[in-house]
Copies of this chain bind each other. A is one copy, B any other.
């Protein structure tokens, strides 16, 4: 590959990194385009704090220049199975997941995460933010759709010093938007992502072992299965 042609060569990008499969892939994509990656994770009152340890491992293995964890408390409002005492649904089949907005939806989560990414990008002088949203596997989440990302980008360019001064156009990169989980895994493996370091489960055991039955575990296992390979993670109860 001719390095001088890389679009991100010599540029900084903020990469939202949950520690899950999708964001680990996005970090690898940002790096493959030549960006210096500044990985950003959140401690937001999530029940699955295990993912923050995964995020630290993924940031290191994925070659992030820096990794910061911002503390915010979404529990102050409640309203989601991921931060409240609402049960995480288990054993739903993949066809059921596309209908309606699931209880694991956290109100305005991506809006909030992107806003912090925007703040850091502004301080870094970066005009590129990467996020691992996906419209196919998570069609029930309003803030995972292309029209949301486009509207966010428009707003962000009116919110910042650089945008107002006409210095740069901030771009929200959502490279996974139209990819199936199987394709995400396929592309990530080509880029050397170690999925054994990632954590996708909404409700892992205290030792971090994924449940295997929540929507996220099931989509993930299906994605590996469709690539004809097995997930490097060990599950409590595999769905496949």
Task: Using CB atoms and an 8 Å cutoff, list the residues of chain A in contact with chain B.
Answer: 68-74, 76-79, 101, 105-112, 114-116, 118-120, 122-123, 142-143, 145, 147-148, 151-152, 154-156, 158-161, 163-165
Q: In the assembled complex, how far is the CB of residue A59 from the closest CB belonging to chain B, in whole angstroms?
A: 15
Q: In the assembled complex, how far is the CB of residue A168 from the closest CB belonging to chain B, in whole angstroms?
A: 13
Check B71–A70 contact: CB distance below 8 A: no
Q: Please give 7 more A-B residue pairs, beta carbons under 8 A apart, in addition to A107-B120, A108-B119.
A: A68-B77, A107-B160, A111-B115, A111-B155, A142-B158, A148-B158, A154-B154
Which residues of chain B are near A110, meaning CB under 8 Å? Answer: 159
Point out which of A69, A72, A73, A152 has the most chain B C-beta atoms below 10 A from its C-beta: A72
Which residues of chain B are near A123, meaning CB under 8 Å? Answer: 77-79, 107
Which residues of chain B are near A114, meaning CB under 8 Å? Answer: 115
Asked whether A122 and B148 contact (CB < 8 A) given A76-B70, A154-B154, the answer is: no
Copy number in the complex reads 2
Return 21 A-B CB contacts under 8 Å, by A number.
A69-B76, A71-B72, A71-B76, A72-B72, A72-B73, A77-B123, A78-B123, A79-B119, A79-B122, A79-B123, A101-B164, A107-B118, A107-B123, A107-B160, A108-B122, A111-B155, A112-B116, A142-B163, A143-B159, A145-B158, A148-B158
Which residues of chain B are near A73, meaning CB under 8 Å? Answer: 70-72
Mostly, the A contact residues are helix
Q: In the complex, what distance in Å separates the CA atom of A152 from the CA atom of B163?
A: 15
Check B71–A71 contact: CB distance below 8 A: yes
Q: In the complex, what distance in Å separates the CA atom of A71 from the CA atom of B123?
A: 21
Point out which of A108, A118, A145, A165 has the most chain B C-beta atoms below 10 A from its C-beta: A108
